[in-house]
């Protein structure tokens, strides 16, 4: 049976709602949706790109606590209340995941607070940053 480890960021939301920042089950790490709050200060920027950066820092910290890293991310979900804002986050996302290239989905949905402009959740497989191969669907192109 796989071991299960709960990871907390110390966010008040975790205790109030009843969830963990991340859950480690075997070699899989499931990181809950992270918003742009700086957990040390409680501050959140008005800028969606700055929030995306803070989300990624929060995710990286949770992954590190779980014994994983950004290169282990295999799945990412971006949730924004305004899909038109997504393009502003692309340079940040490219910086953090451009070489990782996980499977991704962007969803437009309301978030818990008006101040939140983006929420990002990831799934990682520890040690999943092995040799990469890119294949175009239909088998027409294969390359690294």
Q: What are the tens digits of pLDDT across the range 21-43?
A: 999 999 999 999 999 999 889 99
CA distance 65 to 7: 7
pLDDT of residue 50: 98
- 115: domain range? 4-143
Identify the CA nearest to 2 among candidates 31, 23, 33: 23
pLDDT digits (tens, 9 = 90+) for 92-139: 999 999 999 999 999 999 999 999 999 999 999 998 665 555 545 655
CATH number at residue 76: 3.30.1330.40
Alpha-carbon distances of 15 from 29, 42, 95, rounded to whole Å: 20, 15, 31
Q: What percent of the chain has pLDDT over 90?
A: 71
Backbone angles phi, psi at 127, to 5 degrees: 75, 10
Summarize pLDDT for 49-100 with one digit per residue, the tens: 999 999 999 999 999 999 999 999 999 999 999 999 999 999 999 999 999 9
Question: Would the pLDDT of 8 be above 70?
Answer: yes
| Domains contained in the chain, number | 1
């Amino acid at each position: 049976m796989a071991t299960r480890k709960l990871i907390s960021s110390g966010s008040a939301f975790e205790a109030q709602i009843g969830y963990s920042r991340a859950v480690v089950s075997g070699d899989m790490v499931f990181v809950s949706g992270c918003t742009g709050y700086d957990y040390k200060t409680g501050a959140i920027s008005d800028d969606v790109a700055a929030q995306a950066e803070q989300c990624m820092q929060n995710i990286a910290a949770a992954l590190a606590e779980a014994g994983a890293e950004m290169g282990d991310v295999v799945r990412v979900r971006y949730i924004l209340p305004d899909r038109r804002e997504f393009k502003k986050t692309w340079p940040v996302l490219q910086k953090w995941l451009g070489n990782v290239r996980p499977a991704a989905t962007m969803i437009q949905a309301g978030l818990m607070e008006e101040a939140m402009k983006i929420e990002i959740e990831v799934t990682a497989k520890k040690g999943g940053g092995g040799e990469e191969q890119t294949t175009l669907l239909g088998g027409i192109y294969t390359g690294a």
